[in-house]
Chains A and B, each alone.
Chain A
Amino acid sequence: MSILLFTLVILLGAFMAGLVGSLTGLGGGVIIIPLLTLVLGVDIHYAIGASIVSVIATSSGSAAAYVKEGITNIRIGMFLEIATTISAIFGAVVAVYINPNYISVIFGGILLFSAAMMLRKKVDHSDTDTSGKLANYFKLNGSYPTATGEQPYAVHNVAGGFLMMAVAGVASGLLGIGSGALKVLAMDNIMRIPFKVSTTTSNFMMGVTAAASAVVYLHRGQIDPGIAMPVCLGVLIGARAGSKILIKSKPEKLKMLFAGVVTFLALQMIYNGIKG
């Protein structure tokens, strides 16, 4: 395949990945990596390097809008970034010592988990009981704008959330993804932050987390300009398009369909990893 054709194919695939990633909330990374490795035969190390670049682009792009709306809790984000940056660098460093087949299997596992998280019925656990000691010390409790005025909320189990974020960071650094599913689990279920705040804050954190591990990948030569260029342009444009569509169509049926696709990709990744 010529470089020109190869670039155009990736551009199209990355556009689709960005679109689907944005519609489902999964993010572009979890979809572009199987596409590059399974369909185009790209080595998973290059796929991961290109994907992490696209994660920085999409998360920074959408964070720009969310931050202005005042929903993102910058203190929660920065506090948890300590956990995610350290662990993301750790993940990126050990990635090269792990057999690519194992990485493929771990990736498939995270993909399955993300699909399950996507279909799960969301329950808002948030309340206004601001008695948590750590939450008060780090000034994490906050409020966000709603149609009926500012809605205050309290943050719980800060230590547990911090630990879960460290796990999300390792996954992000190791696999080159945003690990939104794990981040939202930490914030929705453990720290009991309202959805709107947790999704926007998780997105806000992704850029810095991905930047920390991208630096390691860049030094190692895993970010190849020939792949990273079409991947980040395509995913970003796709994600933009997705954020425009979301309002008009029915997300529930789409989610079912995408969960099926993602499950299929996950099983393929696991199968390829085991087969070696």
Chain B
Amino acid sequence: MELQQKHRAKDRDMQLIMGNLLRIGVLLSMTVVFVGGVIYLIGFGQQKADYSEFIMDDAGFFSLASIWAGILDLNGKAIIQLGILLLIFTPISRVILAVISFFIERDYLYVLIGLMILSIILFSLSNKLAG
């Protein structure tokens, strides 16, 4: 019983840290998206919008290298993409946090489950799937 209570206390800690992590991640990424959006609209606001047909890999800024190069140029679209990358990384970092926390709790079954989820996402990140 005592052990169970200890587990529960640790679960509470994890829940608090996880909640803060998610909140900070969303706030940070949305701020970056907003700043990028303002820069983008100042530069391109008067041009014509056309999204009537999907063109694969049209606009660039879909790889880390091109996003980084764009940020150095203060390109609004690249900064928005950085914000979106930060947003995508938010729930992923939540899984990393859970793995660490389950490891401290010695719940190795859930360490394994967390690592499985991470490797599934890493596989998706490897860019062999986009087609």
Question: Chain A: residues with CB nearer than 8 A to chain B?
Answer: 1-7, 40-46, 53, 56-57, 59-61, 63-65, 67-68, 70, 72, 74-75, 78-79, 81-82, 85-86, 89, 92-93, 96-97, 138-139, 207-208, 210-216, 218-230, 232-233, 236
Contact = CB atoms under 8 A, between A and B. Distances in A.
A56 B87 CA distance: 7
B30 A82 contact: no
A68 B15 contact: yes
B19 to A, nearest CB: 4
Chain B interface mostly helix, strand, loop or mixed? Answer: helix
Contacts of A227: 51
B23 interface: yes
B91 to A, nearest CB: 3
6 contacts: A44-B54, A64-B22, A218-B85, A225-B81, A229-B40, A233-B37
- Which 7 residue pairs are nearest across A and B when measured between Cβ atoms? A207-B91, A4-B45, A6-B49, A225-B80, A68-B19, A45-B54, A219-B130
Size bracket of the B interface: 35 or more
B46 A3 contact: yes
A232 B30 contact: yes
A207 B95 CA distance: 10
B92 to A, nearest CB: 6
Nearest to A63: B22
Contacts, number: 210
B1 interface: no
A210 B89 CA distance: 11
Interface in B1-57: 11-12, 14-16, 18-20, 22-23, 25-26, 29-30, 33-34, 36-37, 40-41, 44-49, 51-57
B108 to A, nearest CB: 12
B120 interface: yes
A61 B20 CA distance: 10
A47 to B, nearest CB: 9
B129 interface: yes
A128 B54 CA distance: 51
| Candidate in B22, B41, B78, B116 with the most chain A CB atoms within 10 angstroms | B22
Nearest to A90: B129
A230 B45 contact: no
Given A78-B95, A218-B84, A225-B84, A93 B131 contact: yes
B49 A1 contact: yes
A74 B15 CA distance: 9
A65 B98 CA distance: 17
A226 B114 CA distance: 34
